A = this chain, B = another copy of it.
């Protein structure tokens, strides 16, 4: 019913996460009204991402080059690795500006139910880096879910006999949250990991 080129654009928009048929149609009809230059820019932006974005050879972060800026930098502490699930997570810590080490992207979490084992994520690459790069601390910053905890346990077991300090980020009640909205598992963790105040 729609003109063919519009139909194809709608189908492509539907590939995006959280974009259903209705939204894709709305976006496509809006794009028809963009001026031609804006559409050219948009089309080129996508093909440039296709051509230029790579995974950093060292940490697995995304970069326009072979190695990302963090791994290239001389001012970062190369002996501390913060381990994240996805490349996007890196930017959460970079925005904070409180971490001055380097990163490692696992590209997933161990999830037996989904058939994802340790060999499906970049754990062996992490071990190589730890063995070869004089790493002194590994900070595990994975989400506190079953998969996240499993993966953190797995990595810490692997490093048990090494000299590397393995830490994980704290689980607990987030700042500014009303206690009544906290789930019981988080509350249990928060009590288990309570801190002495005097």
Contact = CB atoms under 8 A, between A and B. Distances in A.
Interface of A: 1-6, 8-9, 11-12, 15-19, 23, 25-32, 34, 36, 38-53, 62-64, 86-88, 91, 94-95
A32 B62 CA distance: 9
B49 A31 contact: yes
Given A31-B49, A50-B36, A88-B29, A15 B42 contact: yes
> How many protomers of this protein does the assembly include?
2
A53 B32 contact: yes
A46 B46 contact: yes
Contacts of A43: 43-44, 46-47, 50
A12 to B, nearest CB: 4
Given A1-B95, A12-B45, A32-B53, 10 more contacts: A3-B63, A4-B52, A5-B48, A6-B49, A6-B62, A16-B30, A17-B30, A18-B23, A18-B26, A42-B46
